Amino acid sequence: MTATLTELQLEPLGPHFGAVVHGLDLASATDEEVLAVRAALVDRKVLFFRDQRLDDDGQVDLGRRIGELTASHPVVGGVDADHPEVYALDSADNGFADVWHTDVTFMKRPPLGSILRAVTLPPSGGDTNWADAQLAYESLTPAVQRLVDGLTAVHDGNREFGYYLAQRRGGQGNEWDGELVTRLDPVEHPVIRVHPETGRKGIFVNPGFTSHITGVSEFESRAILDLLYAHLTKPEHIVRHRWRTGDVAMWDNRSTAHYANRDYGTQRRVMHRITLRGDIPIGPPR
Ligand SMILES: O=C(O)CCC(=O)C(=O)O
Ligand SMILES: [Fe+2]
């Protein structure tokens, strides 16, 4: 039997990065279409699907067809008892993401990818931006690439999420990678990550969770991180999405960072996310 290669209708959002997938209903996609989406995810790094009709169950079902789901978050429980995999970001509950970050890099195995659905949107504002961490690495000069290639950084989730452990769940924690997380111990990851599927290198530090680079002075760490962040978030490396209800975004969390604009005042904005289980980040060979 010959395998059929399903062609998606992809509208690229730039020469390298981001695409809108047209003509695909995620709730009724065929296995071939799901495989094609999985391949496009690695290639375009962030995909957008308009006019979808997913609810929480549909979002979870879709995620399970693409990969293995994690719990909602290492320390934040699911949106309700029936959906322990769904993480809700609700502006009415202090759910904001207006710091550049890659999801959950403060754990040993950060997610492979995330699937985000717009549930309630403000009349305007609340756009989300993604940065292409591979394009950003590749557009550094070779001398700076050599400097950062061998570095390791510490990621610490306590600044953003320590209070959940301290207050919200009475120190109970949540489950991640089959273990109950009752403390957020800092973890180390390579500053430059080699993508496990393509071998491409990308910047894998982020202002949300990276605390410092190891083996250099605090001053050097700050300066190197600031250089990498300023470079990562150059407009050439960004796509920006203006949400409509029903939209779904899917990103490769191994090769991108993202930022949700907080420019809608006291209006409500609610987003539901699921994350796909990832692997331990690997750096370039020494
Ligand atoms: O609210 C958004 O647009 C993005 C939130 C976020 O950082 C995430 O879902 O991982
Ligand atoms: Fe995020």
**Ranges in the chain, pLDDT < 50:** 1-2
pLDDT at 56: 98
Is 97 a pocket residue for ligand 1 (Cβ < 6 Å)? yes
**Tokens in use for 50?**
């308009």
How far away, in angstroms, is 97 Cα from ligand 2 center?
Answer: 6
Give the CA-trace dihedral at 153, 63, 97, 259, to 10 degrees.
70
For the chain, what are the domain ranges?
A: 9-276
Mutate to test the pocket of ligand 1, among 89, 114, 239, 244 (most ligand atoms within 8 A of CB): 89
pLDDT at 1: 46
Is 119 a pocket residue for ligand 1 (Cβ < 6 Å)? no
pLDDT at 240: 98
CA-CA distance, 158 to 166, in Å (whole number)? 10
Q: CATH number for the 9-276 domain, one of 3.60.130.10, 3.30.70.2200, 1.10.1740.10, 3.90.226.10?
A: 3.60.130.10
How far away, in angstroms, is 49 Cα from ligand 1 center?
Answer: 16
Mutate to test the pocket of ligand 1, among 128, 264, 272, 276 (most ligand atoms within 8 A of CB): 128
Q: Give this prediction's pTM.
A: 0.96
pLDDT at 272: 98
Please answer whether residues 267 and 59 qualify as being in contact, where contact means their C-beta atoms are separated by less than 8 angstroms: no
pLDDT at 163: 79
